[in-house]
């Protein structure tokens, strides 16, 4: 909740509405003529610096001949296209497996942490805390090297363990943040524990937590690139193959440009989807109890969702 | 047990490498993150655009891709730096986007009256932000920055695969020397646990010392 929304300050709302238009911040006055001129100068300066930077990058690219036709021709070969598409397909496959399995593991661990049986609760707490504290790469390497597993299962297992435990915490907070009266009313109607959970608490919790869940899936999608390090034939791996195969022309930079654009584009799409869901959620009349925080980096201590 | 005692210097070297990476990258990330947060709330539109673009792009970039592009791409433009410096740059830039968002949401928790009072005293944007708002925001952003830096420490493991000396990459040498893989990983895991718990303890202490609930 931002400070702007304080009801006590409503008498002065019109003025704030105006300052909100310019900035959304109380950090500076509505600029007068002098300040406007100064801001314009700063703006021009910043734009000039940016353009200079962009120009320098483009100069470097052109200077080293990155835009020459020779370097981009490989992308027209059917074999190269197939290699890249197969890499992308493998990335998406790993992501799909990891996403589905982490959601399942998250649900199981969250149910464990909310269980009424103390031993179950302890075990799930230890698991969740341990897997959140370990670097995901250490787990992937451990499964790959020590347990001698194929790259894909190793990658999926590592991602599932990490994201599953983070999601477990997300689910748990979601369920705990459903208004107490909801569960009490359901028990009063004579529903059993499982029924209360399945029919009353979980649907509301998932609704409220959907943006956070999706932004955790963005983390999973980003982390599929770790498969590159254990020789899983994903997107980056395909790019590297192209880059080192044609050592005569070395179209490394074009490959990086293409791959980054697609990778970052995919992650941005998913992030925007999360923001869109969050906005829709806030507008929705059906949910009024929850103020869902927008998906953003770290809001709690160790291993918070979405931090990686 | 003898995996650790036999290779203490190897582990120590790796552990120190990870700590070095974490400390330098943290400093870079904090500096860049605060500057970018300043940009994002600045009155100049161009600066806001820069800050927003920086955060949006870097938060959606896989860290491995960033390492890949930086460590293998930059040398082709004749920018030759030690691998460790590249790793610090990649980690620092990546983490700065998360720090920026944490600081920005911290700035939003400072009551409007503080900024208004500073302005009514005739302070400029820089003075308002630097001497009034940021010091107060600092108190609320301690926990999120702590968890971001813990994530940074964990992410530094990726650098090992790009020939930078750090803790995870010690397993290769141990594996070649025929030591038990399971045990070498146990000690590696312990090393990371020590590091993350230390950062967590540090930030808990800072939180107790300076933190305020808003």
B57-66, B135-144, B164-173: least confident range = B164-173
Separation of alpha carbons A63 and B71, rounded Å = 20
Helical H segments across chain A, by residue range: 13-22, 33-63, 69-72, 78-113, 118-133, 136-141, 151-176, 180-188, 193-195, 202-223, 235-245, 252-283
* Predicted pLDDT at A17: 39
- Reported as a single tens digit per residue, the pLDDT across B150-192 is 999 999 998 888 878 888 888 888 877 777 888 888 888 889 9
Q: What angle do CA A285, A297, A5 make, to 5 degrees?
A: 45
Indicate left, alpha or beta for B178 from its phi (over 0: left) and psi (-120 to 50: alpha): left
Which residue bears the tokens 């969050």?
A: A278
ipTM of the complex in this document? 0.84
Rounded CA-CA distance A39/A29 in Å is 12
Contact flag B68-A228 (C-beta cutoff 8 Å): yes
- Segment holding B140, helix H or strand E: helix B134-155
For B201, the token pair is 């303890």
Here the tokens at position B178 are: 């025929």
Q: Alpha-carbon distance B53 to B97, whole Å?
A: 10
Nearest CA to A58 out of A253, A244, A264, A260 is that of A253
Buried b / exposed e along B162-176 (16+ C-beta atoms within 10 A): bebbbbbbbbeebee
State the pLDDT at residue B214: 57
Shortest Cα distance from B29 to chain A (angstroms)?
A: 14
Cα–Cα distance between B90 and B28 in angstroms, integer? Answer: 10
Is A225 close to B76, i.e. CB distance below 8 A? no
pLDDT of residue A39: 87
Report, as ranges of residue numbers, the positions in chain A whose pLDDT lies below 50: 1-24, 297-308
Percent of chain B at pLDDT exceeding 90: 36
Residue A9 contacts B where some CB pair is shorter than 8 Å: yes
Stretch 1-40 of chain B: residues touching chain A, C-beta under 8 Å: none
Tokens 């070395």 belong to A250
Which of B38, B40, B44, B143 to probe the A interface (max A CBs under 10 A)?
B44
DSSP-derived 3-state class of residue B89? helix
Cβ–Cβ contact B116 with A under 8 A: yes
Interface check A142 vs B, CB under 8 A = yes
Element (H, E) at B45: helix B45-59
Q: Check residues A285 and B70 and name the one with the higher pLDDT.
A: B70
Rounded distance between C-alpha atoms, residue A244 and residue B88, angstroms: 25
Tell me the CA distances in angstroms from A39 to A209, B45, B118, B126, B135, one per residue in order: 40, 8, 19, 13, 25
Query: In Å, how far is B142's CA from the nearest CA of chain A?
Result: 9
Least CB-CB distance to A296: which of B41, B101, B128?
Answer: B101
Higher pLDDT, B22 or A249: B22
- Percent of residues, chain B, with pLDDT higher than 70: 99
A296 touches chain B (CB under 8 A): yes
Whether B154 sits inside 8 A of A134 (CB atoms) is yes
User: What whole-number distance in Å separates Cα of residue B174 and Cα of residue A115?
Assistant: 42
pTM confidence score? 0.82
Q: For residue B16, give the 3-state DSSP assignment.
A: helix
Buried b (16+ CB within 10 A) or exposed e, B101-111: bbbbbbbbbbe
- Token pair for A18: 């105006």
Q: Which two tokens stand for residue B9?
A: 């210097």
- The answer to whether the CB of A130 falls within 8 A of the CB of A142 is no
**Cβ–Cβ gap A27/B204 under 8 Å:** no
Q: Report the pLDDT value the prediction gives residue A18, as an integer from 0 to 100.
A: 38
Q: Does B195 touch chain A (CB under 8 A)?
A: no
CA dist A230 to A126, A142, B158, B165, Å?
Answer: 27, 11, 11, 18
pLDDT at B6 exceeding the cut of 90:
no
Smallest CA-to-CA distance from B141 within B96, B101, B111, B114 is with B101
Which chain B residues have a beta carbon less than 8 Å from that of A273? Answer: none
* pLDDT confidence of residue A81: 83
A135 lies within 8 A of chain B by CB: yes
pLDDT at B112: 87
- pLDDT value of position A284: 67
Across the interface, whether the CB atoms of A42 and B181 are under 8 A apart is answered no
B173–A contact, CB cutoff 8 A = no
* Cα B214 to Cα B211: distance, rounded to the nearest angstrom: 10
Choose among A308, A132, A135: nearest CA to B168.
A135
Judge whether A230 and A140 are in contact, CB under 8 Å. yes
Q: What is the DSSP string of A78-145?
A: HHHHHHHHHHHHHHHHHHHHHHHHHHHHHHHHHHHHT-SSHHHHHHHHHHHHHHHHS-HHHHHHIIII
């Amino acid at each position: 909740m931002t400070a702007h929304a304080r009801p006590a300050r409503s008498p002065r709302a019109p003025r704030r509405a105006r300052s909100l238009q310019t900035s959304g911040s109380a950090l500076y006055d509505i600029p007068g003529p002098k300040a406007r001129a100064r801001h314009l100068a700063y703006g021009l300066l910043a734009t000039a610096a940016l353009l200079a930077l962009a120009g320098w990058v483009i100069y470097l690219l052109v200077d080293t001949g990155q835009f020459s036709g020779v370097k981009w021709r490989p992308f027209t070969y059917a074999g190269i296209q197939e290699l890249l598409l197969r890499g992308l397909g493998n990335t998406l496959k790993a992501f799909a497996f990891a996403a589905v399995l982490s959601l399942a593991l998250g649900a199981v661990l969250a149910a464990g942490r909310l269980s009424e049986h103390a031993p179950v609760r302890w075990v799930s707490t230890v698991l969740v805390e341990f897997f959140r504290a370990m670097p995901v790469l250490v787990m992937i390497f451990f499964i790959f090297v020590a347990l001698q597993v194929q790259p894909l299962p190793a990658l999926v297992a590592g991602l599932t363990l990490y994201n599953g435990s983070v999601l477990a915490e997300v689910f748990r907070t979601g369920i705990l943040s459903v208004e107490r009266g909801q569960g009490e009313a359901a028990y009063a109607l004579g529903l059993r524990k499982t029924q209360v959970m399945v029919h009353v608490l979980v649907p509301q919790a998932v609704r409220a937590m959907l943006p956070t869940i999706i932004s955790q899936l963005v983390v999973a999608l980003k982390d599929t690139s770790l498969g590159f390090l254990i020789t899983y034939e994903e997107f980056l791996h395909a790019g590297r193959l192209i880059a080192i195969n044609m050592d005569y022309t070395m179209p490394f930079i074009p490959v990086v440009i293409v791959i980054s654009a697609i990778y970052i584009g995919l992650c941005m799409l998913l992030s925007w989807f999360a923001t869109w869901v969050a906005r829709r959620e806030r507008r929705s009349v059906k949910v009024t109890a929850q103020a869902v925080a927008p998906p953003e980096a770290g809001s709690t201590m160790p291993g918070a969702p979405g931090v990686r | 047990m003898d995996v650790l005692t036999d290779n203490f210097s190897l582990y120590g070297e790796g552990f120190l490498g990870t700590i070095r990476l974490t400390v330098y990258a943290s400093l870079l990330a904090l500096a860049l993150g605060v500057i970018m947060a300043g940009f994002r709330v600045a009155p100049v539109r161009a600066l806001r655009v820069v800050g927003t673009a920086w955060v949006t792009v870097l938060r959606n970039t896989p860290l491995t891709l960033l390492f890949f592009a930086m460590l293998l791409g930059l040398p082709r433009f004749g920018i030759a730096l030690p691998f460790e410096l590249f790793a610090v740059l990649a980690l620092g830039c990546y983490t700065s986007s998360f720090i920026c968002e944490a600081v920005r949401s911290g700035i939003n928790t400072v009551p409007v009256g503080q900024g208004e009072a500073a302005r009514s005293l005739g302070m400029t944007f820089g003075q308002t932000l630097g001497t009034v708002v940021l010091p107060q925001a600092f108190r609320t952003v301690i926990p999120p920055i702590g968890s971001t830096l813990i994530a940074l420490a964990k992410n530094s493991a990726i650098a090992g695969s790009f020939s930078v000396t750090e803790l995870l990459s010690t397993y290769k040498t141990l594996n070649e020397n025929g030591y038990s893989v399971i045990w070498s990983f146990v000690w590696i895991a312990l090393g990371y646990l020590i590091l993350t718990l230390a950062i967590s303890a540090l930030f808990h202490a800072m939180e107790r010392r300076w933190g305020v609930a808003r």
